[in-house]
Structure formats: C-alpha cells, structure tokens
Structure 1
Amino acid sequence: MRITVKDVMDPRAASVHADTSFKDVAEVLVARETGAVAVVDDERRVMGVVSEADLMRKEEFREQYHGESYRPPLRTRLRRRVAGQPGDPREKAAAGTAAALMTAPAVTVPPHASTVAAARIMDEAGIRQLVVVDGEGRLAGVVTRRDLLKVFLRDDEGAGAEAGRRDSRDSRDGVVVEVRNGIVTLSDPGALTR
C-alpha cells in the first residue's frame, strides 16, 4: 500500500518572505504552532527554511552581546559538526531577517512521494518536518513527523480492505491479507509448495 505525502500533509504551510524581520518570523512560528517556516519568493518558490533552532541562536549568544564571552559546550559543537551544519552559529545570532536566518537550500519533498520516502528524508536530514513543493519548486504544504504517524491510525478492517483491493489489481491468487494493529502482512501460503 502506497500512501503519499499529499494524503497526510497540511497544505496550509506557514511561509515568510526573505525580508521578514526576526521578530515577525518568531511571531509566525508561535502563532502557527509550528517548528519551521518556509522562506519564499514572490512566486512562492521555496528559497530556504527558518526553524525554531535558527531563532534560538540569538538567545544562545545573547550574553556575548552584553560583554560576556560565551562558547557553546563541546557536545553542542560536535553535534553541529556531525550534522553538517556549516558556518558560525554566531552569524545566525546576529541575523535580523529571514534571508539571513534561513537554511538553504531547503530539504523538500514532492506531494507524490511516499510517506516512507518522506520519513527516510527526515531521518537522514535530522529534521522534524519537510517542506512540500510542486514541480516548479513552489510551496504546496508541509509534512511533519506527526503527520506521518497518521498512517498507523487507520483501522485494521480499512487497511485490510485496501490491501485486498491492491492485491486483486496485482492479480495474485491465493494471497492472504492479515492486518493486526494497523500493520498489513501479505503472504502466499502456496508459494512454498510450488
């Protein structure tokens, strides 16, 4: 069974323009109760993403601007290096606009991608949500880890019926469809005797 990103995404993705101020980006994140916001151009093409973590740099380095020296703990510096986060985080701390705050290019996924592919991309990139873009690179929505969990919420009967329909289209005779706790198992008992 192939469930796509379009089946579970939120088409009302939060976005800002490159010249949006730091404070306004923070207001959008809080008001929309989201962890990241897409930065788009006038044609709604995605330029990058600003996450809560990008905004937190200002708080993290606030003491530095008040004359106190601050250096992130070794564990934090190593995590950033292993995650491949380039540049000096102090640059983001000093940023005043979405363009200066954003991570670019954005990690994106098309609406027709499977939820399995989306989950793998999130895991590999170490992110909690993906920006969904159409074929032109325009913002189409957002899919979060929580959205991907929706695939497990279908009842067993519905999942089994869907698997059975797909199986009959594949014209496999003798395939047994079993569903338990939302997990579909297809088996062919006759395959071992052929």
Structure 2
Amino acid sequence: MKDTPRTVGDVMTQTVVAVSRSAAYKEIVKTLAQWKVSAVPVVEGEGRVVGMVSEADLLPKQQYKDRDPSRIEQLRHLDDLVKAGAGTAGELMSTPAVTLRGSATLAEAARLMARKGVKRLPVVDEDGRLAGIVSRSDLLRVYLRDDEDIAREVQDEIVDHFFRNCRPTAEVTVTEGVVTVSGRLPDAAMVPVVARLVRAVAGVVGVELRLEAPPVKPWVPEPPVVGPQF
C-alpha cells in the first residue's frame, strides 16, 4: 500500500448518508436498504451528529407487532417497547452519539468499538459535524499492507535507529504480517522497547524477536570515601 493508514481519517468513508431527527421510520428503512448499511447517523443543524439509528433500533416494531404492549412481563423490555411505538429517527436513535475524530488512531477506534459494542462510528470534526464514518472492515484494511512495505518501515524507522552501532546489523523478515527481528543489541533493556515499537507498526500481525544482548550488570554501591579525621 503506497500510503500506510495511520489514523481513522486515512480509512474512513467520506461519503456518508445521514438522516434528520424528523426522518420517518419507513424513510430510514429505505435509506439503509438503498445504501446497503446497517446504521446511519442522525444529524441536525449544519450536520452535527446527535445520534445513530441501527437495524437493532428498528427491529422492535416487528418484534412486538403481534404482542399486547400492556402485558406485565413485557415491562422488562421497556426500551424496546418504546422503540416499537416510535415513528421518527429522533425517537429511535441511540443517544448521545458515540463519535471520534479523524485524528484518532486505528487502535483507539478499535478499542472504542469494542467497549461500546458497535460496528461503526461517525467521524466528526472539531465542531461535531459529520466528516465520515468508520467501520470494522475499514480498520482491518491496514492488514492488506504488503510484507515488503512493513519490513521496509521496520528497517528504516526502528532497526536503523536502535542497531546503528551494532555489527552485524539486525535482520528483518516479514511473513504474512509477522515480523521477525534477528540480531544483537548493545543493551538488554532495549528489547521490550523494540518489541513495542515493532508491534505498533501498521499492518503488523505478530512480532518475534531473536535478539541477543549482554546481560544487565547488577548495580553495586561504591564504597564510602574515608577521609581524614578532624
């Protein structure tokens, strides 16, 4: 990949369909079908994101279509019952909207999706206006990066820096996204640092370090200086 994705802004979809608070139920269903998506942002004003409507928000209307909403046992599903009777995006949407900026890293986006249990996130600018949308599949695109590109970055940005005074220099190989670094470091304390930096490179699936380093010398306090007695 020529331009390595680093942030959400690099992988997000910029052409995004959205609906207003007043969008009717059937309009939302048609929008999802037409754009082949499972959720849409709800915007107001100049495109400020206020919520999301997903297929899960729409399904209660079908789920409770042949049920009596007054039945006591159904009160355990009060939220779904409310949505079953809703007719607009403003009534159906999940709010407040979970959003993030285009400058967020791919790892930050993945953690936010996992924590909130969502499949996509609206991307907003500094004023909260819709700028794009990022999905799970967008985050996975980074793993399409060629092994050669990954190896080149590891070599140029990490190995050439940490191993510049080592002879022979370290060797970098990448197979299916798994990076192997072999060589010798001047300090054993640098091994976890190298591992962390390599793991952070875009497209890296795993890291295997075959590094040698001199053992860390234990600290020995210097003997006290004994001076003349006065």
Contact 1:48/1:104 (8 A) holds in 2: yes
* 1:80-91 equivalences in 2 (<5 Å): 88-91=79-82
SS of the residue 1:178 aligns to: strand
2:161 aligned residue (159, 163, 171): 171
Aligned CA RMSD, in angstroms, stands at 2.6
- In the alignment, residue 172 of structure 1 is paired with which amino acid? F
1:181 aligns with 2:176: yes
Matching residue of 2:38: 35
1:153 is aligned, of 144, 156, 165, to 144
Asked if the contact 2:5/2:11 (under 8 Å) is kept, the reply is no
Q: State the alpha-carbon separation in 1 of the partners of residues 15 and 101 from structure 2.
A: 15
- Deviation, 1:42, is 2.2
TM norm structure 2: 0.69
Residue in 1 aligned with 2:197?
A: none
Aligned residue number for residue 129 of structure 1: 120
1:107 to partner: Cα distance: 1.0
Q: How many Å separate the matches in 2 of 1:21 and 1:7?
A: 33
Match of 2:17 in 1: 14
**1:77-117 deviation digits (Å, cap 9, x = unpaired):** 6xxxxxxxxx6211111111100010011111111111111
Cα distance in 2 for residues equivalent to 1:50 and 1:25: 8
Task: Tell me by how many angstroms 1:185 deviates.
Answer: 5.3
Instruction: Name the stretch that deviates more: 180-189 or 45-54.
Output: 180-189
Structure with bigger RCO (C-alpha 8 Å, 6+ apart): 1
Aligned CA distance change for structure 1 residues 175 and 4 (closer, same or farther; 3 Å): farther
Structure 1 stretches of 5 or more lacking a match?
A: 78-86
Q: Over alpha carbons, which structure has the higher Rg?
A: 2
Matches within 5 A, 1:42-81: 42-64=45-67
Query: What is residue 83 of structure 1 aligned with on the other side?
Result: none
Question: Where do 5+ consecutive residues of structure 2 fail to align?
Answer: 164-168, 189-212, 215-230
How many residues end up aligned between the 2 structures? 180
Structure-1 residue corresponding to 2:92: 101
Q: Residue 163 of structure 1: CA displacement?
A: 3.0
Residues 70 and 129 from structure 1, CA distance in 2 versus in 1: closer, same or farther, beyond 3 angstroms?
farther
Deviations 1:50-100 (A, max 9, x none): 0110011111111126x896967x9xx6xxxxxxxxx62111111111000
Equivalent position amino acid for 2:40 in 1: V
Mapped partners of 1:125, 1:100: distance in 2:
20
Which whole-Å deviations, capped at 9, do the CAs of 1:102-133 have from their partners, x for residues lacking one?
Answer: 00111111111111111111111111111111
Residue range with higher mean Cα deviation, 1-10 or 28-37: 1-10
Separation in structure 2 between the aligned mates of residue 58 and residue 16 of structure 1, nearest angstrom: 19
1:164, distance to aligned residue in structure 2 (A): 3.0
In the superposition, the TM-score normalised over structure 1's length comes to 0.81
The answer to which structure has the higher helix fraction is 1
Q: Is the 8 A contact 1:64 1:70 kept in 2?
A: no
